[in-house]
Structure 1
Amino acid sequence: MSSGARILDGIAIAASIKAEVGAEVKALAAKGIVPGLAVILVGHVPASEIYVRSKVKTCGELGIFSEMLTPPETITTEEMLALVAELNVREDIDGILIQLPLPKHVDTRRLLEAVSPDKDVDGFHPINAGRLQSGQPGLAPCTPAGILEILKRSNLPIAGQNAVVVGRSDIVGKPAAMMLLNASATVTICHSKTKDLAKITREADLLVAAIGQPGFVTAEMVKPGATLIDVGINRVTDAAEVEGFFPGDAGRVATFAKRGSVVVGDIHPAAFALSGAYTPVPGGVGALTIAMLMANTVTAAKLRRGLPVK
């Protein structure tokens, strides 16, 4: 790994954000306000259960009230809508989070749009997407918000930079592009139909990879000295692939031997050596998602009460 490449430590940045959120929660408590988050977890999806427990635990650490609702796998869309409607009118709940994925028979889009935009701490509601596009205060999706925090807190330039976002999902790609545009970057969005993708990515001062394919962005696609933001979290279970991504990396080989898989981002590890700065996987962007959810819950509590938001 090149000594010139700076590792952007998502874990340390997330800890700073959580400390700030904790201080804000204390300040609100002095005014008799306790931010509240409701998390709906349908059925038993082990990965979702681990993630939700982590969210609830973080709420407890920061002094945010949390309530976990665990309806059965058999719940209907109508029953879920009734549950969301109840949470929408509760004064003690500032944020509502529906853990995805939902069972196939449940209409996910209807449910996400049923959440009050003022309590939509995931930032998925079309009204919040519109607020983001028009630069109004609102609730932005947690992962893109985390990307912006990494860049700002690492004192990396955004204004005037050529930013390329690879991936156009509603959850990461589009909102990340909009936030970078709002921060005065010149933004290009690329996707599976983009022609001569490598030519475009090589022009990027700031490259965000959110396409969901392990090692998709290779060293040949990167401009030397660029900032690389890797949103991907892909599990690789093939020994030959692991060796291809991490040649001679004893640590990764040991992890693979123990767990049968290793995590790889959307950027090939060999590309990081060319960068000026990069987010590692794990320990980069993913580390900020829960911290930004906590920040959104406090923002929602303030916005709902007409209090100023920094």
Structure 2
Amino acid sequence: MITLKGAAVSAKIRVEVTELLHGLSGAAPKLAIVRVGERPDDMSYERGALKKMENFGLQAESFSFPADISDEAFQKEFRRINDNPEIEGILLLRPLPKQINEREIERMIDPDKDLDGISPENIARVFAGEAEGFAPCTAEAVIEVLKANDIDMCGKRAAIVGRSMVVGRPLSMLLLKENATVTICHTRTKELEKTCQDAQILIAAAGKAKMIDASFVGADAVVIDVGINVDNDGKLCGDVDFDSLDGIASMATPVPGGVGTVTTAVLAKHLVMAAKKHRSS
């Protein structure tokens, strides 16, 4: 089984970002990372994103707020970030605490600064198959991994385990755009194992540690693990039991070191694209 590591894909995207930066005048584009509370997975992703922006020659600033901030106070702070002309891209770490109206924030964010595709405008563009706008970074990272490894999606049977608006649903649209035949699975899917076994490309995005093992995987399938979890030993792991796939899957992404690395690279690419559009308008 070939391990599809994210580092090589990230390096490829870095070349694209460098080329885009050459055609951009003025200061390096600036990203705002907005975090409410101190969830360990949010803070881990934030650290990775800050490091990636620095490595790609971009600016980034974190805006953190206490977990008990009121809806009114957060909306006021978010509006200030959203309206700042020096900030050309925004990453909002979700989910937000229950007291905050997340839907209202999604409607509020400037679509041209919405690098992770959460605004109604960007979601509509993804589902309409339009090139303009930004898809969620993780969903796009999966496509980048497949393309970088010359995995043809055209006509292939692809199954996604997970139906969230962060990965599952938008990723299904991106796969359809590549002419794959897509099945979205979830916890209530009957004969889930059989459905997954029939897939030539299997994407795990269920958010459950090591849920997908060899019994879900067909011979020579390509397995992409989007999950970020912590196992019983406190170690980072994905939704896939990676070790069980050897001798069955043809290729698979590891966790860590797989899709997550590419996701932050896609974020950097989106930032430069947003800056280019902003500065040419």
TM-score (norm 2): 0.91
1:20 to 16, 20, 23: 16
Instruction: Please state how far the C-alpha of 1:71 moved relative to its aligned partner.
Output: 3.2
2:205 and 2:63 map into 1 onto residues whose CA distance is 30
- The CA deviation string for residues 32-91 of structure 1, in whole angstroms up to 9 with x for no partner, is 363221122234445433432332233233232323223344432222222232233332
2:237 and 2:67 map into 1 onto residues whose CA distance is 31
- The CA deviation string for residues 168-220 of structure 1, in whole angstroms up to 9 with x for no partner, is 01101111111100111011111111111122112111111111222222322
Tell me whether 268-277 or 168-177 shows the greater mean CA deviation.
Answer: 268-277
2:133 to 107, 115, 138: 138
- Could you say which residue in structure 1 is the equivalent of 2:194? 199
Instruction: Please state how far the C-alpha of 1:105 moved relative to its aligned partner.
Output: 2.1
2:214 and 2:174 map into 1 onto residues whose CA distance is 26
2:141 and 2:172 map into 1 onto residues whose CA distance is 13
- Is 1:263 the counterpart of 2:236? The answer is yes
- Could you say which residue in structure 2 is the equivalent of 1:112? 106
Tell me whether 196-205 or 12-21 shows the greater mean CA deviation.
Answer: 12-21
Rg bigger for which structure? 1
Contact kept in structure 1, 2:211 and 2:239, CA below 8 Å: yes
- Seen in structure 2, the aligned counterparts of structure 1 residues 287 and 181 have a Cα distance that, compared at 3 Å, is same
Contact kept in structure 1, 2:129 and 2:173, CA below 8 Å: no
1:70 to 64, 68, 82: 64
Unaligned runs of 5+ in 2: none
- Could you say which residue in structure 2 is the equivalent of 1:86? 80
TM-score (norm 1): 0.83
Q: What amino acid maps onto 2:239 in structure 1?
A: D
- Seen in structure 2, the aligned counterparts of structure 1 residues 52 and 214 have a Cα distance that, compared at 3 Å, is closer
Contact kept in structure 2, 1:94 and 1:297, CA below 8 Å: yes
Q: What amino acid maps onto 1:156 in structure 2?
A: I
Unaligned runs of 5+ in 1: 238-259
Secondary structure of 1:224's counterpart equals coil
Tell me whether 298-307 or 208-217 shows the greater mean CA deviation.
Answer: 298-307
Instruction: Please state how far the C-alpha of 1:272 moved relative to its aligned partner.
Output: 4.0
1:95 to 80, 89, 92: 89
Tell me whether 199-208 or 89-98 shows the greater mean CA deviation.
Answer: 89-98
- Is 1:295 the counterpart of 2:269? The answer is yes
Instruction: Please state how far the C-alpha of 1:306 moved relative to its aligned partner.
Output: 5.0
Instruction: Please state how far the C-alpha of 1:226 moved relative to its aligned partner.
Output: 1.0
- Is 1:8 the counterpart of 2:4? The answer is yes
- Could you say which residue in structure 1 is the equivalent of 2:153? 158
Secondary structure of 2:65's counterpart equals coil
Contact kept in structure 1, 2:7 and 2:257, CA below 8 Å: yes
Instruction: Please state how far the C-alpha of 1:305 moved relative to its aligned partner.
Output: 4.1
- Could you say which residue in structure 1 is the equivalent of 2:166? 171
2:65 and 2:217 map into 1 onto residues whose CA distance is 46
Q: What amino acid maps onto 1:20 in structure 2?
A: E
Secondary structure of 1:146's counterpart equals helix
Tell me whether 139-148 or 93-102 shows the greater mean CA deviation.
Answer: 93-102
1:198 and 1:53 map into 2 onto residues whose CA distance is 36
Secondary structure of 1:14's counterpart equals helix
Contact kept in structure 2, 1:77 and 1:111, CA below 8 Å: no
Aligned sequence identity (%): 38
- Seen in structure 2, the aligned counterparts of structure 1 residues 129 and 185 have a Cα distance that, compared at 3 Å, is same
1:216 to 211, 216, 219: 211
- Seen in structure 2, the aligned counterparts of structure 1 residues 73 and 205 have a Cα distance that, compared at 3 Å, is closer
- Could you say which residue in structure 2 is the equivalent of 1:243? none
